[in-house]
């Protein structure tokens, strides 16, 4: 391993020179293929921290799908249902636990995961590599690769796919630095451990948190720890289903993440599952088409006759009434917020997407109103007392 690595350029092609380096010791990574760039490494190091912590907290193989230094999705490796396999396009391939984790992470928001950076807590096996070989992705970071997996991944993107191996025992320095406008910032690393102990202060009338809800709240909070703030995360059954990142207003985070969660759930509607796609339609085009079909713009597309490019027959629209009725059946969703909710409107929006469990720091002058709104819907909410801003 080397002490430094020269990069092609920084965030943009005009930002040269560019490199990553260690002030002390050697870099804890090895590039096995490709030439990762500045943003690739930002995604790689943030996503690796997320999956490493998620594996430690859950005891399960964990994966994340990153874009522009925030997760599009994250998940632990439990068995996929038949519906999940269908909506994630993995019905026809074998799935190991770590492959299942990545399928669920990428499946949270397949539109945003287009061209993602993948992160795995465990050694990448041939099942995960085989799945990645079919998706549009920029690179991967993992603690190791089986020979079969490495052989598969090295053929991706005309043999230029970025493959990074990280030392799983690497421990970063306790103090970190960042330069902005020629000025150096210094702070202690955010080593705060997220576990079930954060979920003991429940000021709501409902004080019941099932073990599954605790797992999902911990998943949401760890995800938020590596999401550009402000941020809100919805999770269900061991996987993220919606992330709202980098918004200036918390209600906009809640709406954005909630809309993504709604789309994830609408993909499971019978009409969507049975869309008559032409057999020659590529996987990304299916994702885009499903997104349009679910949206209110579909009738305009239908009127233009564009459906013929994607479907063998013209599918019936999924009406607003049908969508609304389907979304009322979404329940058991957990929600995490990286800072306190200033108003009860966030709870109102979360409730519309099936949220029954919430974890947030608390500390707003309007906490009473937020608690009252939770009580209105029987939502159990924990005050963690810990903010999780990430910039």
Active site positions, annotated: 67-68, 230, 391
Strands 62-67 and 70-76: antiparallel
pLDDT digits (tens, 9 = 90+) for 245-263: 999 999 999 999 999 999 9
Determine contact, residues 119/63, Cβ cutoff 8 Å.
Answer: yes
Q: Note the pLDDT of residue 296.
A: 81
Q: Note the pLDDT of residue 369.
A: 95
Give me the count of residues in the chain: 391
Tell me the CB-side half-sphere exposure of residue 206, using CA atoms within 13 A. Answer: 17
If you search the block for the tokens 């996503």, which residue do you land on? 47
- Domain 4-166 and domain 195-266+327-383, same fold? Reply is yes
Mean pLDDT of the chain: 95
Classified by CATH at the fold level, domain 195-266+327-383 comes out as: Cytidine Deaminase; domain 2 (3.40.140)
Give percent of the chain with pLDDT exceeding 70. Answer: 99
Angle between helices 38-58 and 211-225 (to 10 degrees): 160
pLDDT digits (tens, 9 = 90+) for 259-297: 999 999 999 999 999 999 999 989 889 999 999 899 887
Q: Note the pLDDT of residue 310.
A: 87
pLDDT digits (tens, 9 = 90+) for 129-170: 999 999 999 999 999 999 999 999 999 999 999 999 999 999
Q: Note the pLDDT of residue 231.
A: 97
At residue 364, does pLDDT exceed 80?
A: yes
Angle between helices 345-352 and 367-377 (to 10 degrees): 30
DSSP string over 172-216: --SEEEEEETTEEEEEE---PPPSGGGG----SS-----HHHHHH
**This prediction's pTM:** 0.95
Taking the alpha carbons of 299, 303, 309, 313 in that order, is the dihedral positive or negative?
A: positive
Give percent of the chain with pLDDT exceeding 90. Answer: 90
DSSP string over 320-363: HHHHHHHHTT---EEEEESS--SSTHHHHHHHHTTEEEEEE---
Mean pLDDT (whole number) for 236-242? 97
At residue 128, does pLDDT exceed 80?
A: yes
Q: Return phi, psi of residue 346, to 5°.
A: -65, -40
Q: Note the pLDDT of residue 306.
A: 76
Q: Note the pLDDT of residue 330.
A: 97
**Cis status, amide bond into 59, omega within 30 of 0:** no
**Distant-in-sequence, close-in-space partners of 280: CB < 8 Å, separation ≥ 6:** none
pLDDT category, 303, cuts 50, 70, 90? low
Lowest-pLDDT choice from 285-289, 328-332, 375-379 = 285-289
DSSP string over 10-32: SSSTT--S-EEE-SSS--SEEEE
Angle between helices 250-266 and 283-294 (to 10 degrees): 110
Q: Note the pLDDT of residue 16.
A: 93
Determine contact, residues 1/22, Cβ cutoff 8 Å.
Answer: no
At residue 305, does pLDDT exceed 80?
A: no
Higher pLDDT, 1 or 35: 35
At residue 302, does pLDDT exceed 80?
A: no
Q: Note the pLDDT of residue 248.
A: 95
The answer to whether domain 4-166 has CATH 3.40.140.20 is: yes
Q: Note the pLDDT of residue 304.
A: 73
Q: Where are the domains of the chain?
A: 4-166, 195-266+327-383, 274-317
pLDDT category, 189, cuts 50, 70, 90? very high
């Amino acid at each position: 391993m080397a002490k430094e690595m020269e990069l092609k350029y920084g965030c943009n092609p005009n930002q040269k020179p560019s490199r990553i380096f260690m002030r002390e010791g050697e870099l804890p990574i090895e590039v096995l293929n490709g030439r990762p760039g500045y943003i690739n490494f930002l995604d790689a190091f943030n996503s690796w921290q997320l999956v490493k912590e998620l594996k430690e907290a859950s005891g399960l193989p964990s994966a994340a799908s990153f874009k522009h230094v925030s997760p599009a999705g994250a998940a632990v490796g439990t068995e996929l249902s038949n519906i999940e396999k269908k909506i994630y396009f993995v019905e026809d391939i074998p799935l190991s636990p770590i492959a299942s984790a990545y399928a669920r992470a990428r499946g949270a928001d397949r539109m945003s995961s287009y061209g993602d950076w993948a992160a795995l807590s465990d050694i990448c096996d041939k099942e995960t590599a085989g799945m990645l070989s079919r998706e549009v992705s920029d690179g991967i970071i993992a603690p190791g690769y089986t020979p079969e997996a490495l052989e598969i991944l090295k053929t991706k993107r005309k043999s230029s796919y970025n493959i990074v191996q990280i030392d799983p025992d690497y421990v970063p320095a306790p103090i970190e630095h960042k330069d902005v406008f020629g000025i150096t910032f210094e702070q202690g690393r955010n080593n705060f451990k997220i576990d079930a102990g954060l979920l003991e202060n429940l000021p709501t009338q409902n004080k019941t948190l099932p073990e599954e809800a605790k797992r999902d709240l911990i998943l949401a909070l760890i995800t938020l720890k590596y999401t550009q703030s402000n941020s809100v995360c919805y999770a269900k059954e061991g996987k993220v289903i919606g992330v709202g990142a980098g918004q200036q207003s918390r209600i906009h985070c809640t709406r954005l993440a909630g809309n993504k969660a709604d789309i994830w759930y609408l993909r499971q509607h019978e009409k969507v599952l049975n869309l008559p796609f032409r057999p020659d339609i590529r996987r990304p085009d299916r994702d885009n088409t499903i997104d349009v079909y679910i949206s209110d713009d579909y009738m305009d597309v239908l009127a233009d006759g564009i459906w013929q490019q994607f479907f063998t027959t013209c599918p019936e629209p999924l009406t607003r009434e049908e969508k609304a009725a389907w979304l009322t059946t979404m329940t058991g969703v957990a929600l995490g917020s990286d800072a306190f909710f200033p108003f009860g409107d966030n709870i109102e929006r979360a409730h519309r997407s099936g949220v029954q469990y919430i974890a947030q720091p608390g500390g707003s002058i309007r906490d009473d109103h937020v608690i009252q709104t939770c009580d209105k819907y029987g939502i159990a909410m924990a005050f963690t007392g810990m903010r999780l801003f990430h910039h």
